[in-house]
Structure 1
Amino acid sequence: MKADPTVQATLLQLAEVDAEIGRIDHQRRTLPEHQQLADAEQRVGQARDAVVRAETRAGDLDRDIARIERDVDGVRTRTEKDKSLLAGSGVGAKQATELQHELDTLARRQGVLEDEQLGVMEEREAVGTELEHARAELAEAETAVTAVTERRDAADGDLDISRAGRDRARGELVAALPDELLADYERLRASGRVAAGALREMRCGACRLELDRTFLSQVRGKPADDVVHCEECGAILVRGA
């Protein structure tokens, strides 16, 4: 393949632009905000789980409190009824003894229920505090997600501007290259290698390796418009750059 030496020199500019594009893409992939956002989202998930657990426990305790209150009300109602019967006329000794025994039993039952109620209410208060804390953690985590997302989007926007500039420069350089030479360059670039490098003294500018003297002698003996490739990495060697 042949190409004017000045056209071949354009490949060096293209390779540099492609290297810059690669750096921009790498920077985009490795933005610290990506990991920060993942950590913040994980924290949100954990905070939401904590809120759900606390809300579930609070709901269970509220139902327990309501049940105990109904039981206490039932005991009080029965106690008032028995007291009325006991205070009424026409109550025999046996019935009075039975009513008093039942009142004693109801009093003990009420004491047990009120103790249970107190314990459940104390636990409910603690769970309420836990729930408030969990909700505050969730709000803080969601705020962090918003802040990190904004920073990531801002960084992405800056990189988009840089990438757009490099894409325009690449388009101008590509337009100046012959189809065959460009195809050769793109084939090499598609393999993940640096596709073109300047030959400086005895080194390839693409792979930075020192080249064999015999190979260099052969290259230097070729016409200036011959397109030659590095024997080490295969990149297009641009001579006289």
Structure 2
Amino acid sequence: MNADTATQLRLLDLQAADTSLEQLAHRRRSLPELAALAERTSAAQALHDEVVDARTSLDDIATDQKRVEADVETVRARTTRDEARLQTGGLPSRELESLQHEIATLARRQSSLEDDVLEIMERAEQAESALTDAQRKHDELDVEITDLQRRRDAAFAEIDAATAARTPEREGIAAGIPTDLMALYERARAHSGTGAALLRQRRCEGCHIELSGSELAAARRADDDTVLRCENCRAILVRTAESGL
């Protein structure tokens, strides 16, 4: 394939534009804010689950506390009733003994239930503390996430603006290159990431490998309009006064 020197030199401008666009795309994909956002979002979801679990635990504890407190009130009411019967007097000795035994049993039951209430209240305090801690951490993460999103969006806007400015330049260069040469360039770029590279001091600037003796001899013999390829990376080699031929 042949192309005049000026057209081959334009391939270097095209490669520079493509390299710039690829760098912008890579920067957009690999912004540190993206990884930080993913990590913070995952942590926030875990903390959200902790908050939900803590609230559920508090609800369950409150239900347990109401049940036990209701049992305490039932025992107290029964004790009050039994004590009132005891004070009325006139009970047969057997019934009196049974009533006194029941009052003692109720007292033990009430004491046990009141201990249960205290234990439940301690559990509620611990659950409330866990909820407060998880909610605080979640709120702090929300602030971090909002800041990271702001920084990400600002970086996206900057990158997108640079891409929007560079793209028409690339399209303009490509429009001035013959179709067959452009197709060769695109195939080379698909192969190694470099479509065209400067031959500088007998070294391909695409793969940074020096041409072999036979390659150099072929390059020296080639006409100026002959399109050369790097045998290693397959990029189009563009010759200039710096090529060292």
Same-fold call, TM > 0.5?
yes
Kindly state the Cα deviation for residue 66 of structure 1 after the two structures are TM-superposed. Answer: 0.7
Q: Please, which runs of 5 or more residues in structure 1 have no aligned partner?
A: none
Kindly state the Cα deviation for residue 28 of structure 1 after the two structures are TM-superposed. Answer: 1.8
Measure, in 2, the Cα distance between the counterparts of 1:43 and 1:175.
49
Alpha carbons of structure 1 residues 221 and 78: separation in structure 2 relative to 1, 3 Å: same
Structural mapping, 1:68-87, within 5 Å: 68-87=68-87
Measure, in 1, the Cα distance between the counterparts of 2:122 and 2:238.
82
Would the aligned equivalents of 1:31 and 1:152 in 2 still touch at CA under 8 Å?
yes
Q: Secondary structure at the match of 2:197?
A: strand
Q: Secondary structure at the match of 1:198?
A: strand
Q: Which amino acid aligns with 1:62?
A: A
TM value normalised by structure 2:
0.92
Q: Deviations over 1:94-129 (max 9, x none)?
A: 222221211111111111111111111122112111
Q: Deviations over 1:113-167 (max 9, x none)?
A: 1111111112211211111111111111222222212211211121111122221
Structural mapping, 1:1-241, within 5 Å: 1-240=1-240
Q: Deviations over 1:168-221 (max 9, x none)?
A: 211111011111110110111112331111222312222222212332232232
Would the aligned equivalents of 1:47 and 1:141 in 2 still touch at CA under 8 Å?
no
Q: Larger deviation: 90-99 or 160-169?
A: 90-99
Q: Secondary structure at the match of 2:192?
A: coil
Q: Secondary structure at the match of 1:238?
A: strand
| Runs (4+) off by over 4 Å | none
Kindly state the Cα deviation for residue 89 of structure 1 after the two structures are TM-superposed. Answer: 5.0
Q: Which amino acid aligns with 1:191?
A: H
Superposition CA RMSD, Å = 1.6
Would the aligned equivalents of 1:55 and 1:131 in 2 still touch at CA under 8 Å?
yes
Would the aligned equivalents of 2:191 and 2:233 in 1 still touch at CA under 8 Å?
no
Q: Which amino acid aligns with 2:187?
A: R
TM value normalised by structure 1:
0.93
Percent sequence identity over matched residues?
A: 39
Measure, in 1, the Cα distance between the counterparts of 2:192 and 2:208.
16
Aligned residues: 241
Q: Larger deviation: 183-192 or 137-146?
A: 137-146
